[in-house]
Chains A and B, each alone.
Chain A
Amino acid sequence: MKTQLKQVSGKRERQAIKKAFLAAFPHTIPIFAGFWFLGLTYGIYMNVSGFSFWYPMLMSLTIFAGSVEFVAVNLLLGAFNPLQAFTMTLMINARHLFYGISMLETFKGTGWKKFYLIFGMCDESFSINYTAKIPKDVDKGWFMFFVTFLNHFYWFSGSTLGGIFGSLIHFNTEGLSFVMTAMFVVIFLEQWLKDKKHKSSLLGLGISLLSLLAFGSENFLIPSMLAILGVLTLLRKPLEKEETI
């Protein structure tokens, strides 16, 4: 009797998981295209920078944060500076803090999956899980799990294939690293189009440029970051006033 009950509940669980997967998958199709393009490019970029496919493979698996992984290529090519790697990562990924704050409620009651949901909370996973209207008969925890898992898988497989495939590429890849600049210009522009006021965007550009001219390409990062934080803190009153207008 007991084993029968166990079998029935096991079957229900499997059906619920399948249902959640089928509900989550369509939401991730655009991410598939994007992550394969960027992941492949990232893998190829690592490859032409002289790293074996193990690097993009393991880094896409453990870091799973696109922009910082592109930056990590430069960090790995530069002088050994773990503090800068850590601070830079914190600055680039600071936005995750606020995804987390938005998800405090949503992730409650998802059990062991909560750890993975937080681990895999990239921009895209957050955006889908935050905005998707999950049908009532679909398990929310499993739905969010599969969104995160599929995104993670796309990024991982794209990066790994790029890393392997990169060594087979015979066309001239000079200038391919510009993909990083292009990506940041697009992200910057997206944020610009979303913002009503552009003081923070302009401050970021201006302070960094001045700092680059003053300190040179090897040392400008930390002064830039501190100056940005400082100026934004000093401008809190006027900037907050603008927000309410």
Chain B
Amino acid sequence: MTLTQQVITILMVVLGTMLTRFLPFLLFPGNKPAPKYIQYIGRVLPSAVFGLLVIYSLKDVSLFAGGHGIPELLSILLVILLHLWKRQMLLSIAGGTVCYMLLVQLVF
């Protein structure tokens, strides 16, 4: 990517973020409640989007080369166990990341 393309990409992210933050205030300046459909989508979409993000962050894992996805699987399991045990976001993230780094650097 050229610098101009990078700037455009970042501006798109800024624009998209600001749109999601400002839009309600532009659309509903008074006290009118949002349409029912929008309220519904707002309730159910986040859970699905977080699922999409998990897959997105794993999209380049190859099942047929390297560690065959085993370091990813083990580290994700550790993240889940740590989080269910202590419910400390930072601990779960740090623990899983360190585990993954050790696995890919020393084992696989």
Query: Quick check: B53 and A67 within 8 Å, CB to CB?
Result: yes
B51 near A104: Cβ-Cβ < 8 Å: no
> In the complex, are the beta carbons of B49 and A72 less than 8 A apart?
no
Whether A104 pairs with B44 at a CB distance below 8 angstroms is no
Taking a contact as CB atoms under 8 Å apart, the answer to whether B94 and A184 are in contact is: no
Give CA–CA (A99, B17) in the complex, Å: 13
Partner of A101, one of B9, B28, B97, B100: B28
Contact B59 A94 (CB under 8 A): no
Interface residue? A23 (CB, 8 A):
no
Q: Do residues A239 and B49 form an inter-chain contact, with CB atoms below 8 A?
A: no
- CB-contact partner of A203 in B23, B48, B96, under 8 A: B48
Report the minimum CB–CB distance from B3 to chain A (whole Å).
11
Q: Is the CB of B12 within 8 A of A204?
A: no
CA A179 – CA B21 in complex, angstroms?
A: 26
Q: Is there contact, CB below 8 Å, between A94 and B43?
A: no
Interface residues of A in 208-223 (CB under 8 A from B): 208-209, 212, 217, 220-221
CB < 8 Å: which of A59, A87, A182 contacts B97?
Answer: A182
Q: Is A119 in the interface zone, CB < 8 Å from B?
A: yes
Q: Which residue of B lies closest to A61 (CB)?
A: B14
**Chain A residue nearest in CB terms to B88:** A186
A179 in contact with B10 (CB, 8 Å): no
Complex interface: chain B residues within 8 A of A76 (CB): 1, 6, 9-10
Contacts A175-B103, A186-B89, A200-B47; A90 near B18 (Cβ below 8 A)? no
Q: Is B22 an interface residue (CB 8 A)?
A: yes
Q: Which residues of B contact A100 (CB under 8 A)?
A: 20-25
A243 CB, nearest partner CB in chain B, Å: 7
- Chain B contact residues: over half helix, strand or loop, or mixed? helix
Q: How far is the CB of B66 from chain A (nearest CB, A)?
A: 11
Q: A183-B93, A201-B50 are in contact. Are A93 and B17 (CB under 8 A)?
A: yes
Measured between beta carbons, the chain A residues less than 8 angstroms from B59 are: 212, 217, 220
Cα–Cα, bound, A190→B50 (Å): 10
Residues A191 and B47 in contact in the complex (CB < 8 Å), given A176-B101, A185-B96, A220-B59: yes
| Residue B52, interface by CB 8 Å | yes
Contact B25 A181, beta carbon cutoff 8 Å:
no
| Chain B 60-75 residues near chain A, CB threshold 8 A | 60, 71-72, 75
Residues in A neighbouring B47, C-beta threshold 8 A: 191-192, 195, 198, 200-201, 204
Q: Would B96 and A178 count as touching, CB distance under 8 A? A: yes
Are A232 and B48 in contact, with the CB atoms below 8 A?
yes
Q: Is A4 an interface residue (CB 8 A)?
A: no
A229-241 vs B: 1/0 string, CB under 8 Å?
Answer: 1001100100110
A200 touches B55 (CB 8 A): no
Q: Are B45 and A200 in contact (CB under 8 A)?
A: yes
B84 to chain A, nearest CB (A): 8
Q: Which residues of A contact B19 (CB under 8 A)?
A: 90
Known interface pairs A95-B45, A101-B28. Does A89 touch B51 (Cβ–Cβ under 8 Å)? no
Chain B: residues with CB nearer than 8 A to chain A? 1, 5-6, 8-10, 12-25, 28, 31, 34, 37-60, 71-72, 75-76, 79-80, 83-84, 89-90, 92-94, 96-97, 100-101, 103-105
Given A178-B100, A181-B100: 4 more A-B contacts, CB < 8 Å: A101-B39, A105-B31, A175-B71, A185-B54
Q: Which 4 interchain pairs have the tightest Cβ spacing?
A: A204-B51, A89-B16, A204-B48, A100-B24
